[in-house]
Amino acid sequence: MAKSKKKWSQNVTEHSDAMDLKEGVFKSDDPKKVARSVKHSAEESRRRKSSPFRAAMSMLTFYINRAGDQLTKKRRATLEEAKDELRKDFGRKPKD
């Protein structure tokens, strides 16, 4: 059996049934823009299985974890800040 060249995580990102993300959303340098876009996608999705907050946070965390060591310190910091912005957007307390 031929081994697939794609990783399972890439398949999840490309074909997730949870929500449709705006293309290039994680490439923005503005954490507020990333958070707003992921929040909007989570709220608009009718296929998600959890709350919009959990779906949005899970997708953001999944992307950070999937990228792993490939993320620069600056990019990782931007995405971690986007998680705090996402918490604020959903009326939750940011982590310290």
Q: Burial, 67: exposed, middle or buried (Cβ in 10 Å; 0-12, 13-18, 19+)?
A: middle
The yes-or-no verdict on residue 4 having pLDDT over 80 is: no
Split at pLDDT 50, 70, 90, the class of 87 is: very high
Residue 50 CA to residue 53 CA, distance in Å, equals 8
- Here the tokens at position 79 are 């995405």
pTM over 0.85: no
Express each pLDDT in 33-83 by its tens digit: 999 999 999 999 888 888 999 999 998 998 899 888 888 999 999 999 999
The yes-or-no verdict on residue 7 having pLDDT over 90 is: no
